[in-house]
Amino acid sequence: MNPTRSPKERALDRRLLELTPPVLSEIAATMLEDAEIKALQDYANEVSIRRLGFNDHGPVHMRKVVKNALKFANLLQANRIPMSLEAEEIGTFEDSVFVLFAAGLLHDIGMTVTRQDHERYSAELAQPIVDRYLELYCPGDTRRKVILRSMIMECIVGHMAAIRIHSLEAGLILVADGCDMEKGRARIPMLLNTEARVGDIHKYSSSAVERITITGGTVKPIRIEIEMSQSVGFFQVEEVLFPKLSVSPARPFIELSAGIIGESPRKYL
For residue 17, the model assigns a pLDDT of: 98
Rounded CA-CA distance 198/59 in Å is 25
DSSP line for 115-177 = STTHHHHHHHHHHHHHHHHHHHHSTT-HHHHHHHHHHHHHHHHTTTSSS----HHHHHHHHHH
Q: How far apart are CA 240 and CA 244, in angstroms?
A: 7
pLDDT for residue 191 is more than 90: no
Determine the distance from the C-alpha atom of residue 179 to the mean position of all C-alpha atoms in its chain, rounded to a whole number.
8
Residues 194-242: pLDDT tens digits? 454 555 556 556 678 999 999 999 999 999 999 999 988 898 899 889 9
Encode pLDDT of 116-135 as tens digits.
Answer: 999 999 999 999 999 999 99
SS3 189: helix
One-letter amino acid at 163 equals: I
> Residue 214 belongs to what H/E stretch?
strand 209-215
Burial class of residue 224 in the structure, from the number of CB atoms within 10 Å of its CB (0-12 exposed, 13-18 middle, 19+ buried)? buried
Rounded to the nearest 10 degrees, the angle between the axes of helix 142-157 and helix 118-137 is 150
Q: Where are the domains of the chain?
A: 7-178, 184-267
Grade residue 190 by pLDDT with cuts at 50, 70 and 90.
very low
3 or 168: which carries more pLDDT confidence? 168
Nearest to 76 by CA among 163, 200, 167: 167
d(CA 100, CA 243): 21
The residues pairing with 224 across neighbouring beta strands, listed in sequence order, are: 214, 256
The whole-number pLDDT of residue 184 equals 53
Please provide the average confidence, as pLDDT, over all residues in the chain.
91
pLDDT in tens, 49-92: 889 887 778 999 999 999 999 999 999 999 999 999 999 999 99
In this prediction, residue 257 carries a pLDDT of 97
| Whether this model's pTM surpasses 0.85 | yes
Q: What is the pLDDT of residues 11-50, one digit of tens each?
A: 999 999 999 999 999 999 999 999 999 999 999 999 988 8
Q: At what angle do helices 93-106 and 25-32 cross, to 10 degrees?
A: 0
Q: Which amino acid is at 14?
A: R
Looking at residue 189, its pLDDT comes to 44
